[in-house]
Structure 1
Amino acid sequence: MAREISRRRLFALATGAAVIFSAGPVFAARLQTPQGKPVLRIGGKISTHNQGDEAVFDLSMLEALGTSNFSTSTPWTDGVSDWEGVRLDVLMKAVGASGDTLRATALNDYVADVPLADIGEEGPILAMKRNGELMPISDKGPLFIVYPFDGNPNLQQQNVYMRCAWHIARLDVL
C-alpha cells in the first residue's frame, strides 16, 4: 500500500511539474514595463504587449534580450565599425510577431520595410552601440538597423541598403 501511494505521489508530482514547465513560455512572453526612457515602440501583428496594443522598450529591456555584434562598413559611415544590438529575429520572437514585413519608422518619419524572411541568425540587428558606445541621436542613434554587409557580398546592393534606417523609434509588423 505504501508503495502504491509513493507511485501515485510521484505521478502527481511529475504531472504537476509538466504543467508548470509547459506554462513557462506563457510567462516568458510577458514584457516588463519600461523603467527607463522608452526608445522603441512595436505595434501591428504582435501578440505580446506591455502598453495597450504595443510593446514598448527602453534600452535595458532591449539589452536583456541578448545582444549580438559584428564588424562591417556601411555606405553611411566611415570605415569599419563594430555594431552591437539585438537581432531582429530575437526581438520579433519576443513580441510574438506574425506578419511578413517589418516597417521601421525613424524619428524624422523616414520609413524602411524589412522582409521578415530576411531576419535570422545572419541577418540584421537593431544596433544600439557603435564601437562600444551608445549612439546619440546626433550620430545615427538611438537605434539603427544594420546588416553585416562585409560578411556577405549579396547584401551589398541597393535594395538591401534601403532596408536600413537610423533614428528608429517605431517598428510595425505588417
Structure 2
Amino acid sequence: MRSTTRAAPAALILSLSLLAVAGPALRPQGAWAEPVPATGATVTTLAPPTEKVVLTVTGRIGVTNAPGAARFDAAMLAALPRHSFRTSTIWTGGVETFSGVELQTLLDRLGVSDGTLKITAINEYSVQIPVAEVQAGGALLADLRDGKPMAVRDKGPIWLVYPYDSDAEFRNEVIYSRSVWQVDRVEVLP
C-alpha cells in the first residue's frame, strides 16, 4: 500500500500558492472588470446597482451584472472615468458644460469592439451607431449639465452629446440625430 501523506502537504502547498496568485483575479476590483496586475487576468462581472437603474446595456457585451445585461445606477456611472467639455447645442441656449462617461469608455469596459449600438430613449426614440464610428473625444453619455444632474424634463438623466463646438465633424444632421436625450437603454447588435 502506497502512502500519500507526503504528497498531500505538497499538493496543499501548491494549491495555496496558486490561490495566493490567482485569488485577487477572482474578486471584483471595484464595480468593473479590471486587469489584475500580478496575473493579467480580468474579472468579467459588474457589481449590481444599489439604487434606481438609469442605464441598461444588453446584447453583445462581455461584462454583466444581470442575465444578459449590464445595469447601472447613477453612482455606478459616476464612478467611471469622467470627461467634460463646454459646448453649445442646437437645442439649448448658450455654452454649457457637459460631464459624464465617454461612450467609448463604456464600450471598452463592457468588452464591446464591434457591431452596432441601438441607443434608445425613454420615449422609445432610437438611433443606431456603428461601433466603428465611436471614438474617444466624441460622444459623451452626459449625466451632468453645468455641474447638476439633468431631470427627465431637462433631457436627462442621460443625454448623448458631442463636443459640437470643437470640430465641424460634430455639426451635421447625422450627429444631431444621434444626440439622444433621456437615454435609458443601449443594445449592442451584431
TM-score (norm 2): 0.78
Q: Secondary structure at the match of 1:81?
A: strand
User: Contact between 2:113 and 2:131, CA under 8 Å: does it hold in 1?
Assistant: no
Q: Secondary structure at the match of 2:184?
A: strand
**Residue among 32, 47, 70 paired with 1:55:** 70
Question: What is the RMSD computed on CA atoms of the aligned residues?
Answer: 2.1
Q: Secondary structure at the match of 1:21?
A: coil
Residue 29 (structure 2) aligns with: none
**Residue among 64, 71, 74 paired with 2:79:** 64
Q: CA deviation at 1:36?
A: 1.0
CA distance, structure 1, for counterparts of residue 38 and residue 135 of structure 2: 25
Report whether the alignment pairs 1:21 with 2:22: no
Report whether the alignment pairs 1:117 with 2:132: yes
Q: Which amino acid aligns with 1:26?
A: T
Which structure shows the bigger proportion of residues in helix conformation? 1
Change (3 A) 1:25 1:38: farther
Map residues 141-160 of structure 1 onto 2, 5 A cutoff.
141-160=156-175
Q: CA deviation at 1:65?
A: 1.1
Residue 183 (structure 2) aligns with: 168
Q: Which structure has the larger Rg?
A: 2
Q: Count matched residues.
A: 160
Residue 52 (structure 2) aligns with: 37
Q: Secondary structure at the match of 1:166?
A: coil
Change (3 A) 1:24 1:120: same
Residue 46 (structure 1) aligns with: 61
Residue 114 (structure 2) aligns with: 99
Deviation per CA, 1:88-145, whole angstroms, max 9, x where unpaired?
Answer: 1110111111432211100000001222223222111100000000000010000000
Residues 150-159 or 117-126, more deviating = 117-126
CA distance, structure 1, for counterparts of residue 94 and residue 179 of structure 2: 17
Report whether the alignment pairs 1:129 with 2:132: no
TM-score (norm 1): 0.84
Change (3 A) 1:22 1:173: farther
Q: CA deviation at 1:21?
A: 3.4
% identity of equivalent residues: 38
Deviation per CA, 1:62-92, whole angstroms, max 9, x where unpaired?
Answer: 1111110001111111111100000111101
User: Contact between 1:44 and 1:173, CA under 8 Å: does it hold in 2?
Assistant: yes
User: Contact between 1:86 and 1:125, CA under 8 Å: does it hold in 2?
Assistant: yes
Unaligned runs of 5+ in 1: 1-11
Q: Secondary structure at the match of 1:92?
A: helix
